[in-house]
């Protein structure tokens, strides 16, 4: 027995282990939906209160024996729940992530409610360079962004929670960095829900700040009472010559350029340069994939690229820091400062000079 154990320990990653991992990938859509079902029905939350038998779960939640036993078997084999010798189920550390870890919850709801259906169109999306999965929700649309206000409430809730979760806790630090340069004006391109503007107005109620975004979003966000002092411009940055205001001071693009292909990013930066005076500073805030401390963060970011493929636009991704710096140079700008470890999710702020 000892000799066999020694051989197993030193033989590395075996074909059998590879097959087990392969089956985990094959059946991952099923366990994903199983966890969703356990959350919907209250099973995971009930088990977490105290170890409990399958029969008591059926009683307390009024769910059939078939449903309870089937989802519990699936959850157990994937390590989401455990079962002791007395037949009592408990939630594992992995399972608790879906109940209490905010990043896991936000990511799960986003994938489930915004991406899951569209992911089936990944091949066509790559071939056509269009978000073919978007048609699962809205048949007539080239990109997701103008359609967001028309999406279902659960789609919008999951999308905005995901989008805001990562970048919102960066804004105070970003404001302090930019404000230390004493710009007369702030321009936020792709301002979304106005998170950065709200922080700026709290920090400095007299600030001169403008948000530039698509018309559909501006129509919604401009009604926010917290943003009465903010100026708004409806601009489509994908146009060859977008109708930009005269820009000076500081420009921020927070998690905005990852919504575009490399060619589009270069054109956006070139158009900003044309519309700005030469003293303007351009700030790019991104969670670059090659600048992450935690493996879970890097994994999440790389997989988010596939959301852009299937659902958002068909041609963008989460970029490496080295890629973005090269695009800045290609557009005729220069990276003058790099601020790292912004917020709690390893964001990087590139300060660029024209």
Tell me: the pLDDT tens digits for 313-333? Answer: 999 999 999 999 999 999 999
pLDDT tens profile 1-19:
455 454 455 568 899 999 9
- Identify the CATH number of the domain in which residue 213 sits: 3.40.50.150
Residue 251's pLDDT band (boundaries 50, 70, 90)?
A: very high
Together in a domain, 178 and 281: yes
**Residues 172-230 pLDDT 10s:** 999 999 999 999 999 999 999 999 999 999 999 999 999 999 999 999 999 999 999 99
Q: What is the model's pLDDT at position 139? A: 79
Domain boundary (83, 99, 115) is at 99
Q: Could you tell me the CATH number of the domain that includes residue 132?
A: 1.20.58.1390
Contact 67/60 with Cβ under 8 angstroms?
no
User: Scanning the structure block, which residue is given the tokens 């449903």?
Assistant: 67
What does the pLDDT read at residue 88? 98
Residues 146 and 208 in one domain: no
**pTM as predicted:** 0.90
| CATH at 9 | 1.10.10.10
Q: How far apart are the first and last CA of the chain?
A: 69
Mark residue 51 as left, alpha or beta (left: phi above 0; alpha: psi -120 to 50; beta: remaining).
beta
Q: Is 143 helix (H, G, I), strand (E, B) or coil?
A: coil
94 & 138 share domain: no
pLDDT-derived band at 256 (thresholds 50, 70, 90) equals very high
Asked if residue 46 and residue 179 are part of one domain, the reply reads no
Burial 225-236 (b: 16+ CB within 10 A, else e): eebeebbbbebe
Check residue 9 and give its pLDDT. 54
- DSSP characters over 293-344: SSHHHHHHHHHHHHHIIIII-SS--PPPHHHHHHHHHHTT-EEEEEEEEETT
Q: In this predicted structure, what is the pLDDT of residue 228?
A: 94
- Could you tell me if 227 and 106 lie in one domain? no
Helix (H, G, I), strand (E, B) or coil at 73: helix
223 shares its domain with 150: no
Last residue of a domain, one of 111, 146, 161: 161
Q: End of a domain among 99, 128, 149? A: 99
pLDDT at 299: 93
Which residue range is the domain that position 53 belongs to?
A: 2-99
**The pLDDT of residue 68 is above 50:** yes
Please count the CA atoms within 13 angstroms of the CA of 145 that sit on its side-chain side. Answer: 20
Identify the CA nearest to 39 among candidates 82, 114, 100: 100
Query: Do 134 and 145 touch, CB atoms closer than 8 A?
Result: no
Q: What is the DSSP letter of 128?
A: H
Q: Are residues 135 and 191 in the same domain?
A: no
**pLDDT on residue 12:** 86
- The verdict on 208 and 296 lying in the same domain is yes
Q: What are the backbone dihedrals phi and psi of residue 339, each rounded to the nearest 5 degrees, phi first?
A: -110, 125
CB 349 within 8 A of CB 172: no
Model confidence at 231, pLDDT cuts 50, 70, 90, reads: very high
> Helix (H, G, I), strand (E, B), or coil: what is residue 211?
strand
- Please indicate, yes or no, whether residues 89 and 200 belong to a single structural domain of this protein: no
The crossing angle, in degrees rounded to 10, of helices 195-203 and 171-179 is: 50
Q: Do 169 and 241 reside in the same domain of the chain?
A: yes
Please indicate, yes or no, whether residues 18 and 109 belong to a single structural domain of this protein: no
**Mean residue pLDDT across the chain:** 94
Going by pLDDT thresholds of 50, 70 and 90, the confidence category of residue 44 is very high
In terms of domains, do 176 and 221 share one?
A: yes
Q: Is the predicted pLDDT of residue 140 greater than 90, yes or no?
A: no
What is the C-alpha separation between 174 and 256, in angstroms, rounded?
15
List residues bridging with 232 in a β-sheet: 211
**Sheet containing 52-53, strands listed edge to edge, beginning at the edge strand earlier in sequence:** 52-53, 88-91, 81-83
Residue 21 CB: number of other CB atoms within 10 A?
A: 11
């Amino acid at each position: 027995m000892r000799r066999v154990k020694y051989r197993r320990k030193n033989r590395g990653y075996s074909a059998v282990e590879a097959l087990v991992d392969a089956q985990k990938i094959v059946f991952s859509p099923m366990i994903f939906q199983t966890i969703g079902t356990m959350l919907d029905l209250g099973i995971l939350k009930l088990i977490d209160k105290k170890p409990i038998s399958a029969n008591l779960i059926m009683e307390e939640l009024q769910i059939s024996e078939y449903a309870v036993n089937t989802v519990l078997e699936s959850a157990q084999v994937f390590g989401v729940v455990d079962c002791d010798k007395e037949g009592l189920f408990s939630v594992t550390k992995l399972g608790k992530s879906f109940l209490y870890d905010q990043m896991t919850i936000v990511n799960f709801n986003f994938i489930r409610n915004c991406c899951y259906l569209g992911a089936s169109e990944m091949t066509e999306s790559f071939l056509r360079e269009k978000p073919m999965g978007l048609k699962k929700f809205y048949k007539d649309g080239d990109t997701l962004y103008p359609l967001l206000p028309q999406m279902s409430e659960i789609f919008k809730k999951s999308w905005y929670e995901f989008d805001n979760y990562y970048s919102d806790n960066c804004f105070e630090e970003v404001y302090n960095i930019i404000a230390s340069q004493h710009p007369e004006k702030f321009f936020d391109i792709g301002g979304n829900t106005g998170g950065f503007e709200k922080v700026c107005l709290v920090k400095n109620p007299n600030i001169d700040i403008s948000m530039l975004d698509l018309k559909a979003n501006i129509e919604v966000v401009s009604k926010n009472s917290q943003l009465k002092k903010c100026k708004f411009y409806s601009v489509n940055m994908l146009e060859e010559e977008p109708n930009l205001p005269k820009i000076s001071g500081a420009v921020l693009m927070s998690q905005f350029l990852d919504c575009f292909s490399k060619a589009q990013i270069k054109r956006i930066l070139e158009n900003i340069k044309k519309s700005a005076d030469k003293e303007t500073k351009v700030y790019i805030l991104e969670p670059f994939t090659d600048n992450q401390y935690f493996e879970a963060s890097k994994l999440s970011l790389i997989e988010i690229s596939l959301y852009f493929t299937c659902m958002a636009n068909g041609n963008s991704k989460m970029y490496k820091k080295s890629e973005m710096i090269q695009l800045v140079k290609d557009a005729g700008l220069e990276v003058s400062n790099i601020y790292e470890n912004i917020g709690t999710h390893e964001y990087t702020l590139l300060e660029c000079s024209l």
